[in-house]
């Protein structure tokens, strides 16, 4: 599910959808078999400052602009993958921002575009991340990002958050020139970890990424921070929880 800024501000809302009430213990695999976690970027990194800056720069238009920007970014990534015309996440994000502004008839100055893009290099981890990652590390669980984000973007976010030394080399989709949910992207986890599918938990932030990872064959945990509704794509995650401590419990750390 593509989440808008208003959804992110409702992270502590009392209403929880049916997807969110699936217990993190409900899984088919024994946690003792889990040896690694492949993370999408945003279970770790908090993207809300991007949406806050959009609203700050364009008061009253931020929610709509952010939603249009994000939706078009994913569409461009998927279209470029399907069409064999790959551009990296930074480029498709910038192109989508320009499109969104034009679609809303907003005068987006080059310096405004650059400032919004720079925000991605200033992002930090969610508050619950470091303790959970330490639990996983102490339990001997290997970890890496398996993300559409570029390696420089991931490097900046790791540095901003003081998470150096916790992750193995980034598995950016730039390596295979195909965005998730293309199977080539998920295959990177098997190749990098040298493990079987059932030994690697994929930690997703978005419902569509849950589906992609399940289609590929990974045990999948949905870090459903926004209490979003599960997608109607014929699969469900093996576990769901609103934070990274829930993921650590699921893995057995």
Each residue's pLDDT tens digit, 187-236 = 999 999 999 999 999 999 999 999 999 999 999 999 999 999 999 999 99
pLDDT of residue 30: 53
Of the listed ranges 23-27, 161-165, 178-182, 199-203, the least confidently predicted one is 23-27
E-assigned strands of the chain? 36-39, 142-147, 171-172, 200-204, 220-223, 239-241
Mean pLDDT of 157-166: 96
pLDDT of residue 55: 97
Mean pLDDT of 70-99: 97
Q: How far apart are CA 147 and CA 93, in angstroms?
A: 14
Residue 244's alpha-carbon distances to 55, 128, 150, 239, in angstroms, are 28, 6, 22, 12
How many Cα atoms occupy the beta-carbon half-sphere of 200 within 13 Å? 25
Cα–Cα nearest to 3, from 74, 59, 56, 58: 74
Mean pLDDT of 72-76: 96
Q: Which residues contact 61 (CB under 8 A, 6 or more apart)?
A: 55, 104, 106
40: annotated active-site residue: yes
Question: For 2-57, how does the pLDDT look when each residue is reduced to its tens digit (9 = 90+)?
Answer: 344 343 333 333 333 333 334 444 444 455 589 999 999 999 999 999 999 999 99
Q: How far apart are CA 176 and CA 246, in angstroms?
A: 31
Higher confidence at residue 37 or residue 1? Answer: 37
**Do residues 228 and 207 lie in contact, with contact meaning Cβ atoms separated by under 8 Å?**
yes
Of these residues, 40, 209, 238, 246, which one is catalytic?
40
Q: What is the mean pLDDT of the chain?
A: 89
Q: Which residues contact 99 (CB under 8 A, 6 or more apart)?
A: 68, 72
Q: How far apart are CA 39 and CA 159, in angstroms?
A: 17
What is the pTM assigned to this prediction? Answer: 0.86
**In this prediction, what percent of the chain has a pLDDT beyond 90?**
86
Higher confidence at residue 7 or residue 112? Answer: 112
Residue 69 buriedness (CB in 10 A; 0-12 / 13-18 / 19+): buried
**Has residue 155 got a pLDDT over 60?**
yes
E-assigned strands of 61-185? 142-147, 171-172
pLDDT of residue 31: 53
């Amino acid at each position: 599910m593509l989440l808008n800024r208003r959804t992110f501000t409702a992270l502590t809302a009392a209403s929880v959808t049916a997807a969110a009430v699936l217990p993190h213990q409900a899984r088919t695999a024994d946690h003792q078999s889990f040896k690694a976690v492949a993370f999408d970027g945003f279970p770790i990194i908090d993207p809300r400052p991007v949406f806050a800056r959009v609203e700050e720069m364009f008061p009253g238009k931020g929610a709509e602009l952010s939603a249009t920007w994000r939706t078009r970014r994913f569409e461009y990534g998927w279209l470029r993958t399907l069409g064999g015309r790959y551009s990296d996440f930074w480029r498709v994000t910038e192109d989508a921002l320009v499109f969104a502004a034009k679609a809303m008839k907003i005068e987006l100055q080059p310096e405004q575009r650059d400032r919004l893009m720079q925000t991605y290099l200033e992002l930090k981890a969610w508050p619950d991340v470091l303790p959970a990652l330490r639990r996983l590390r102490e339990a001997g669980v290997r970890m890496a990002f398996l993300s559409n984000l570029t390696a420089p973007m991931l490097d900046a976010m790791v540095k901003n958050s003081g998470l150096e030394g916790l992750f193995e080399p980034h598995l950016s989709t730039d390596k295979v020139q195909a965005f998730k949910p293309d199977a080539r992207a998920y295959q990177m986890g098997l190749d990098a970890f040298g493990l079987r599918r059932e030994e690697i938990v994929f930690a997703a932030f978005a419902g569509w990424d849950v589906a992609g990872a399940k289609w590929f064959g990974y045990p999948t945990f949905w870090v459903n921070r926004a209490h979003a509704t599960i997608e109607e794509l014929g699969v469900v995650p093996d576990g769901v929880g609103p934070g990274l401590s829930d993921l650590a419990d699921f893995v057995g750390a």
